[in-house]
Amino acid sequence: MSNSLEIRKALLGEIREAKKSRVVLNLTDVRYIDSSGVASLVEGLKASRELGSRFVLFGLSASAREVLKISRLLKLFEIYDDEEQAMSA
């Protein structure tokens, strides 16, 4: 919660301004994600879809995967273990 607003702003800004065919989000150093962080990911996913872009995540911790699973969102996202897999997909 402490930085989710800044992350949301940065993420949506990147998606809408860059308008790339693919947005890849590195979550390797994200030790903890709460429901507001998940909300930001969902907003990022929706913004990407509106622009016809792919929204890819990699480097999720066990905790992050659990939160997405409990929220029934895990299968919505394109998730890879590392950057190499994410970039080559």
Partner 1 sequence: MKSPLNLSRAFLLKLKLRSHPKLLCVVRGAMEPLMEMLGFSESECRAIIRAVDEALSNIMRHSYHGRLDQVIDVSCTPVQRRAHAETGQGVEILILDCGPAIDLAKLHGRSLHEIRPGGLGLHLIRDTMDSVEYTRTGRFNRLRMVKYAQPSKRGPNP
Q: Report in angstroms how near the CB of residue 2 gets to partner 1 at its nearest.
A: 4
Nearest CB to partner 1, comparing residues 2 and 88: 2
Nearest CB to partner 1, comparing residues 21 and 62: 62
Dihedral (CA of 32, 83, 7, 51) sign: negative
Q: Report in angstroms how near the CB of residue 78 gets to partner 1 at its nearest.
A: 15
- Reported as type and span, the H/E element at residue 55 is strand 54-58
Q: Report in angstroms how near the CB of residue 17 gets to partner 1 at its nearest.
A: 20
Nearest CB to partner 1, comparing residues 75 and 88: 75
For residues 71 and 14, what is the distance between their CA atoms, to the nearest angstrom? 25
Cβ-contact 42, 73 below 8 angstroms: yes
